Structure 1
Amino acid sequence: MRRESPHTASEAPVGPEGGAARKAADADAAARDGQDTLPLPPWKGPAILLVDLDAFFASVEQLDHPAWRGKPVIVGGDPDKRGVVSTASYEARPYGVRSAMPSSTAYRLCPHAIWTRGRFDRYREVSNEIMDILRSETPHVQQVSIDEAFLDVSPTAVNREHPVEVARRIQRRVEELGVTCSIGVGTSKTVAKIASDMDKPRGLTVVYPGGERDFLGPLPVRTMSGIGAAAEEKLRSRGIRTLGELADADEGMLLRAFGKNGRVMHVRANGGDDAPVAQDDDVKSVSNEMTFAVDLTARDEVEGAIATIAAKVGRRLRRKGLRGRTISLRMRYDDRSVRSVQRQLAAPSDDELAYTPLLHRMMDELWQPGMPVRLIGVGMAGFEEDEGVQEALFDIAKVAPSEDDVRPSIPDEGKRRGLIEATDLVKDRFGETAVRFGRELRGEGNTTGSAAKNPADYK
């Protein structure tokens, strides 16, 4: 394993071939001095990169606001409206500010920080530029959020370039745009992901083939994606605290304790990974959700919120050239309980003017006047021809047949299409808030201003 950055090497590699590892460290140092004379150790087998943009939202704000550079910047919802921190700049992190922290807590920790609710069109624009860079390096790119992507850069008979050289070039190209990234390089997605978190910001951590066990062994089990607090406690009760101990554990015991996930955990702890780098165009669902600063209790408020979210989903479907058959509605209440419902449409759709009246009918199965609603989500799935295996977007409260009696507010499909295309053109030119229907304005100002990093929400 090696941790390096564009400027300093913080640790020599650890792996089965110490001499080759030392030579790699020397080669990195020479490269930083402008003397690419020493070769990197050969790479045999799969090579996966995880590119993670450093404090991405805050970095874009500092890029666009030079006066904010070097100062603590927090992108997130309002501290007095149930807001959540989306991103904190590295200058804010020494104060204890972290992503997903309640904004009220972040404000107490760092009251002098610069706060912004964010400009998500701008973040999507920069993210798309960076994803274009990644796709120019390899067609095997899986974007997992607005600021993260896996790449498969495994050497082949045709492409013999060393994966570390690819990673270095990506860092240089991203930095030319005015933001930075940290990259993990390994033989699997699990190793690359963990490596990318080891040295931030502007870090490059490399785990050579054969060095996976040395790298993963000492790390706590929670370091691995997919192991949460409950799984950690169950593992601890069996004397398993590190990934090395998990790798050495009896697979049969893990299967009994965790089912099929036990095998996945065991394989990953040993440096393997069953999951390939999936192509970006394999979209399973498109969804959007909104959290409210003040709970919704009136019908017109709930209907207006559903219409607003449905419009965002429709616009994203059209951007992707997708039409779905399975529409879903999700609600979270003031007691934090969640219920959902879905319907099968008579025909695939990307037309929110057609499916919003159906969502309003579905609402009656989840909500009654006076019930406080904290969050609403709308999703569309069912893009595959074989819908028999399509997974639901949410935990399903009830699945009912389609209701052909729910008519769109504008029955003429041609008129609906013309109206949608016209509003899309205006939004493309002037921004997402340039044109909205009256029902979408009812809840304006009643959101927390927080944002998720689901890639589907930014494409």
Structure 2
Amino acid sequence: MARSIVHIDMNTFFVSCERLTNSALNGIPLIIGGGERGVVASCSYEARRFGVRSAMPIHMAMKLCPQAKIMKGDMELYSRLSHDITEIIQEKAPVVEKASIDEFYLDITGMDKFHGSYKWTNELAQTIIRETGLPLTFALSVNKTVSKIGTGEGKQKQNLEIPEHLVQPFLNPLSIQKIPMVGEKTFQMLSRIGIRTIQTLSEMPAEALQRMIGKNGIELWKKANGIDNNPVEPYTERKSISTEETFPQDTIDIDLIRRILHGMVEKLAFQLRSEQWLASTVTVKIRYANFDTETKQCRVQYTSADHILNQIVTELFEKLYQRRMRLRLIGIRFSGLVRGTYQIDLFQDTEEMLALYQAMDRMKTRYGFDSVMRCAGATFKPNNKNEILKRKSR
């Protein structure tokens, strides 16, 4: 039996949330993002007509669309409305996966026995629009890949239903860039050998594609042929991520403690970005040599950027550590997590900072977390006694 998988995409979600609270923003080019040296987090269709796109530097977007209004963005508002949408969907759908703050997959296989699957999905969509006031697009098909591509096409052609026998005719004329896993580099590489449409890609031998682009070649070939067996993963909201370290010996070495805290932040922030989370609460924990344990926390604007979190953690530690006794343990927890479609906090960070984080994350993902790190968070451990003696003699 063919599966029935729905992909729901909230249209220009950040922009729609802002317009929900301020109708004066309707119909005008609107950009959500940072300052003059920041990047675009989201933009309205009016701005997109001028060539503005997400992750584009703000200064470039303003050259393309100088009449656009720029707003910093309100992640707390977006998170609250995303939560409202999630509750509506979870109440009605049997299996729900929340792919990001504004994207959902639903597995409604078998529901056509009792309701028409498209009719049921359309009724759910109308309920979301009515109760939240936010626009959306959905597509219904046999798997996640085809449904996601369908919502992208549906933004111009309205909601789509793509039954199994129409999957390949639907995919064939589309650009290979429509496949979710095809980035700019892959597109350019395939374009150079004449592969620009999904049909051409689907007809290429899978083994040749694997030799060309590596282990993802087979997966890309499957997607071009409308094959995707990935399940809809039931949605569970993660509450927090944390780490702590107990010292081998109680210490009052503040420089060492700060380096360890920086290293903890870097590791947790990388995890946040890898899993596409943004944190809104930071907690620092210390345990004194006499086992007294104290914590201090504060709310922050949603972020997953090391430099922002490091500053907050440092300030909390300095406020918390007042007794000047030796410490036995330190720990950090990031909580109040929300899903986001962006690797880092695009509202706060500059174009250069975005490029730095992306480069570091790529190296960490490929070569391991320790392949590159900030000096502030590095702790150097001599390999042997001779190395210790050398350092002491310098």
- TM-score normalized with structure 1 length: 0.57
User: For residues 144 and 267 of structure 2, what CA distance do their matches in structure 1 show?
Assistant: 29
Q: Mark the CA change 1:162 to 1:377 in structure 2 (over 3 Å): closer, same or farther.
A: farther
Q: Which moved more, 1:86-95 or 1:125-134?
A: 86-95
The aligned residue for residue 178 of structure 2 is: 223
User: For residues 264 and 240 of structure 2, what CA distance do their matches in structure 1 show?
Assistant: 27
Alignment of 1:213-362 (within 5 A): 213-281=168-236, 320-322=238-240, 324=242, 360-361=259-260
Identity %: 27
User: For residues 199 and 258 of structure 1, what CA distance do their matches in structure 2 show?
Assistant: 30
The aligned residue for residue 71 of structure 2 is: 116
SS across alignment from 2:110: coil
CA RMSD of aligned residues (A): 3.9
Q: Mark the CA change 1:155 to 1:377 in structure 2 (over 3 Å): closer, same or farther.
A: same
Q: Mark the CA change 1:358 to 1:271 in structure 2 (over 3 Å): closer, same or farther.
A: farther
The aligned residue for residue 173 of structure 1 is: 127
SS across alignment from 2:140: strand
User: For residues 246 and 358 of structure 1, what CA distance do their matches in structure 2 show?
Assistant: 54
The aligned residue for residue 369 of structure 1 is: none
Query: How far off is 1:439 after superposition?
Result: 1.8
Q: Mark the CA change 1:206 to 1:256 in structure 2 (over 3 Å): closer, same or farther.
A: same
What amino acid sits opposite 2:269 in the alignment?
Answer: G
User: For residues 415 and 441 of structure 1, what CA distance do their matches in structure 2 show?
Assistant: 13
Q: Mark the CA change 1:76 to 1:381 in structure 2 (over 3 Å): closer, same or farther.
A: closer
User: For residues 455 and 127 of structure 1, what CA distance do their matches in structure 2 show?
Assistant: 18
Q: Does 1:58 align with 2:12?
A: no
Tell me which protein shows more helix as a share of its residues.
Answer: 2
What amino acid sits opposite 1:379 in the alignment?
Answer: A
Q: Does 1:137 align with 2:92?
A: yes
SS across alignment from 2:83: helix
Query: How far off is 1:185 after superposition?
Result: 1.4
SS across alignment from 2:76: helix
User: For residues 156 and 192 of structure 2, what CA distance do their matches in structure 1 show?
Assistant: 35
User: For residues 232 and 153 of structure 1, what CA distance do their matches in structure 2 show?
Assistant: 33
Q: Does 1:453 align with 2:341?
A: yes
The aligned residue for residue 74 of structure 1 is: 31
- From 185, 196, 200, the equivalent of 2:151 is 196
User: For residues 59 and 112 of structure 1, what CA distance do their matches in structure 2 show?
Assistant: 19
**CA deviation vs aligned residue, 1:287-313 (integer Å, no higher than 9, x gap):** xxxxxxxxxxxxxxxxxxxxxxxxxxx
Across the two proteins, how many residue pairs are aligned to each other?
298
Query: How far off is 1:278 after superposition?
Result: 1.3
CA contact (8 A) 1:182 1:201 kept: no
CA contact (8 A) 2:34 2:72 kept: yes
Which 4+ stretches in 1 moved above 6 angstroms? none
The aligned residue for residue 278 of structure 2 is: none
Query: How far off is 1:109 after superposition?
Result: 2.4
User: For residues 4 and 31 of structure 2, what CA distance do their matches in structure 1 show?
Assistant: 35
SS across alignment from 1:51: strand
Q: Mark the CA change 1:147 to 1:156 in structure 2 (over 3 Å): closer, same or farther.
A: closer
Q: Does 1:150 align with 2:105?
A: yes
SS across alignment from 1:91: helix
Q: Does 1:47 align with 2:14?
A: no
What amino acid sits opposite 1:49 in the alignment?
Answer: V
What amino acid sits opposite 2:19 in the alignment?
Answer: Q
Q: Mark the CA change 1:263 to 1:60 in structure 2 (over 3 Å): closer, same or farther.
A: same
CA contact (8 A) 1:254 1:262 kept: yes
**Residue segments in structure 2 that go unaligned for 5+ positions in a row:** 248-255, 276-283, 302-311, 319-338, 346-394
CA contact (8 A) 1:144 1:454 kept: no
SS across alignment from 1:171: helix
The aligned residue for residue 386 of structure 1 is: none
CA contact (8 A) 1:45 1:155 kept: no
- TM-score normalized with structure 2 length: 0.65
The aligned residue for residue 294 of structure 2 is: 416
Q: Mark the CA change 1:71 to 1:145 in structure 2 (over 3 Å): closer, same or farther.
A: same
What amino acid sits opposite 2:147 in the alignment?
Answer: A
**Residue segments in structure 1 that go unaligned for 5+ positions in a row:** 1-43, 284-319, 326-343, 348-356, 367-375, 383-391, 395-406, 428-435, 443-450
CA contact (8 A) 2:176 2:197 kept: yes
Query: How far off is 1:321 after superposition?
Result: 4.2
Q: Mark the CA change 1:45 to 1:215 in structure 2 (over 3 Å): closer, same or farther.
A: same
What amino acid sits opposite 1:71 in the alignment?
Answer: I
CA contact (8 A) 1:48 1:154 kept: yes
User: For residues 163 and 73 of structure 1, what CA distance do their matches in structure 2 show?
Assistant: 35
Q: Mark the CA change 1:255 to 1:416 in structure 2 (over 3 Å): closer, same or farther.
A: same
Query: How far off is 1:235 after superposition?
Result: 2.6
User: For residues 362 and 48 of structure 1, what CA distance do their matches in structure 2 show?
Assistant: 44
SS across alignment from 2:164: coil
The aligned residue for residue 269 of structure 2 is: 379
What amino acid sits opposite 2:3 in the alignment?
Answer: P
What amino acid sits opposite 2:122 in the alignment?
Answer: R
The aligned residue for residue 184 of structure 1 is: 139
What amino acid sits opposite 1:63 in the alignment?
Answer: L
Q: Mark the CA change 1:163 to 1:364 in structure 2 (over 3 Å): closer, same or farther.
A: closer
Query: How far off is 1:60 after superposition?
Result: 0.8
Alignment of 1:398-409 (within 5 A): 409=286
Query: How far off is 1:145 after superposition?
Result: 1.4
CA contact (8 A) 1:52 1:183 kept: yes
User: For residues 14 and 176 of structure 2, what CA distance do their matches in structure 1 show?
Assistant: 29
Query: How far off is 1:189 after superposition?
Result: 0.8
CA contact (8 A) 2:168 2:226 kept: yes
